[in-house]
Structure formats: structure tokens, C-alpha cells
Amino acid sequence: MATHPGRLSPPDIDPDTRVPERSAVPPPVHGVLADERTTTTDGTVVVRDLVRAYGLGEGDGRVLRGLDLSIAAGEFVAILGRSGSGKSTLLRALAGLDHDVHGTGTIAVPDRVSVVFQDSRLLPWARVLDNVTLGLKGSRVRELGVERLAEVGLAGRERAWPTELSGGEQQRVSLARSLVREPQLLLADEPFGALDALTRIRMHGLLRDLYARHEPAVLLVTHDVDEAIVLADRVIVLDQGQIALHVEVGIDGPRDTADPRFADLRAQLLAALGVPLTERAPL
């Protein structure tokens, strides 16, 4: 992957607080993870034979059943799947946040991983800039935080409290917080799921811009087929704990929902999701 000329070296990260979302996760309950977790140095993601099972689930409780997935450095992959198909479970496994589950397999991810969730998970008692730089150390951290906030259109709001921001603005702070860490892998679990349709479309443009500028690999979980096609290089469908379909989007330039190639892809993905033809409109 070509290195962006303006790319900044990552700030010093306190290993105890590198992924602030970790602190929001409850402590281990009953999980036994026997997977092998390693770090890749080239920004790639490689998952092999990943199994995840919650003790009290249906049948044998398996949510992921020997799942294999590779993501190239800087590649944008969207993942679709019915509710309960295991998308968040996969994302949590990649983030190393799945302490309450049984499982095996191998996971190799880059060193710097950031996570964005559907809710912004900002600390209400910390100002916007402090939320963005939480857990980071170093002389340039403040400056980087201010830069990232400007990139997401929030210049001048550094000293605001999270409650003074709209939902879309809070989610932009969350994106700034993830990017200040210069992630090689950005994991996003329905990051726009709680936003209204118009804000959502604006966020798509913002995410595309940020992606082009920072070039992380991205794994985006979404329920929105069009969102997946608009944003991703490749879309995968999760079903029965495995990947049922992989499609390359392969549409250059702005992706127009009226483009017949877009419509073909949409139909293919909806079919893989088990949505009958009669229920497919409007999106």
C-alpha cells in the first residue's frame, strides 16, 4: 500500500488505555478462548477457522463456525448479515473485546486497531478534545486531536461537552477519536445505524474522505446494502456462522444507486441475505 505523504507517525499510546472502548466492556464472565492471536506487520488481517460459541445459544451455541477471512492492507470490506448472524461477534473477536465467549481459531491483526460503535461512547464528563485524545500520551497529541476534529468538520468545538453535540456530531467525534490513533485497521459496527437518512448520507462522504486520507483497512458492519455498496471495495455476507458470499464492488468513481451495476449487486446481496424479491423495495 502506498504511504500517504501527509501521514503522521502514530502518537505514543499508553498500552493500558489504547482502545478506550475496552474500558466499557464488562470483565470476563465464563469465556474460554483458545484462539491464537498474533500481530501482522504489513497491515493485513487474516482470520482462520474462527469459532465462537455462547454457552446458552441455539443448538451447540456456535455463532461463528470455522470462518475464514482475509483483508488486505488499506482494503475496505463491508459485512452484511441477518440480525444475530454473528457480525458483532466477529468484530469483537478482531478487536480483542470478546471475553465472554468460547472459541478457537487464529486471528492476525495489525498492531493499531480502532473501533467505532453505533453509539459514540463518549465520556460525558470529558470535553470533546479530551474524549478524542483519551489514553494517548506525547507532545503532539493535542495538536493531532485538533487536526482530526477539523477533518470531521468540528473545528472550534474542542471545548464543547458531548451533550452539547447532536447525534451525528457525536459520531464524528467518535471517528476523530479512532483516527487520532492512526489505525491500520478500523472496525466499525453499524456506526451510522442510529442516524437519520440525510446525516447518514453525509457521513458516507466523510468516511470515504477520511478513508482516502488515512488509508486504514476497514471492516464495516452494516444492515444497509446500499451503504455497503457505496463505501466498500468488497462486500461479504455472513450466514450460518460462515461467509456465504464475497463480491467485489468494482465500480470506479462515484457510485450511483441508479447505475445498473449497482442494482445488480444490490439484487445479488439481497438474495444472499434471503430477502424475497417482493420485499426488496424501497431501500
Ligand X SMILES: Nc1ncnc2c1ncn2[C@@H]1O[C@H](COP(=O)(O)OP(=O)(O)OP(=O)(O)O)[C@@H](O)[C@H]1O
Tell me the residue type at 98: D
Which partner in Mg ion, ligand X, none is near 184 (CB below 5 to 8 A by kind)?
A: none
| Nearest-approach distance from CB 209 to ligand X, in angstroms | 26
Q: Is 241 a residue that touches ligand X (CB under 6 A)? A: no
Q: Is 89 a residue that touches Mg ion (CB under 5 A)? A: no
Residue pair 96/15 in contact (Cβ under 8 Å)? The answer is no
Q: Is 148 a residue that touches ligand X (CB under 6 A)? A: no
Stretch that binds Mg ion, among 83-91, 158-166, 210-218, 274-282 (CB under 5 A): 83-91
Residue pair 146/158 in contact (Cβ under 8 Å)? The answer is yes
| Nearest-approach distance from CB 191 to Mg ion, in angstroms | 12
CA distance 207 to 166: 18
| Nearest-approach distance from CB 134 to ligand X, in angstroms | 25
Stretch that binds ligand X, among 14-22, 35-43, 78-86, 273-281 (CB under 6 A): 78-86
CA distance 42 to 45: 9
Q: Is 28 a residue that touches ligand X (CB under 6 A)? A: no
Q: Is 81 a residue that touches ligand X (CB under 6 A)? A: yes
Q: Is 171 a residue that touches Mg ion (CB under 5 A)? A: no
The sign of the torsion formed by the CA atoms of 168, 174, 177, 178 equals negative
The DSSP letter of residue 33 is B
Q: Is 85 a residue that touches ligand X (CB under 6 A)? A: yes
| Nearest-approach distance from CB 147 to ligand X, in angstroms | 32
The DSSP letter of residue 216 is -
- Total interface residues for ligand X by CB under 6 A: 12
> Residue 13 half-sphere exposure, CB side, CA atoms within 13 Å?
20
Count CB-CB contacts under 10 A for residue 233. 17
CA distance 163 to 266: 37
| Nearest-approach distance from CB 86 to Mg ion, in angstroms | 8
Residue pair 273/240 in contact (Cβ under 8 Å)? The answer is no
Question: Is residue 65 classed as helix, strand or coil in its secondary structure?
Answer: strand
Which partner in Mg ion, ligand X, none is near 81 (CB below 5 to 8 A by kind)?
A: ligand X
Member of 43, 86, 145, 183 binding ligand X (CB under 6 A): 86
| Nearest-approach distance from CB 86 to ligand X, in angstroms | 4
Which partner in Mg ion, ligand X, none is near 54 (CB below 5 to 8 A by kind)?
A: ligand X
Question: Is residue 207 classed as helix, strand or coil in its secondary structure?
Answer: helix
Which partner in ligand X, Mg ion, none is near 84 (CB below 5 to 8 A by kind)?
A: ligand X
Q: Is 54 a residue that touches ligand X (CB under 6 A)? A: yes
CA distance 8 to 107: 27
Of residues 93-132, which lie at the interface with ligand X (CB under 6 A)? Answer: 100
Residue pair 190/119 in contact (Cβ under 8 Å)? The answer is no
Residues within the interface to ligand X (CB under 6 A): 54, 57, 63, 81, 83-89, 100
Residues within the interface to Mg ion (CB under 5 A): 88
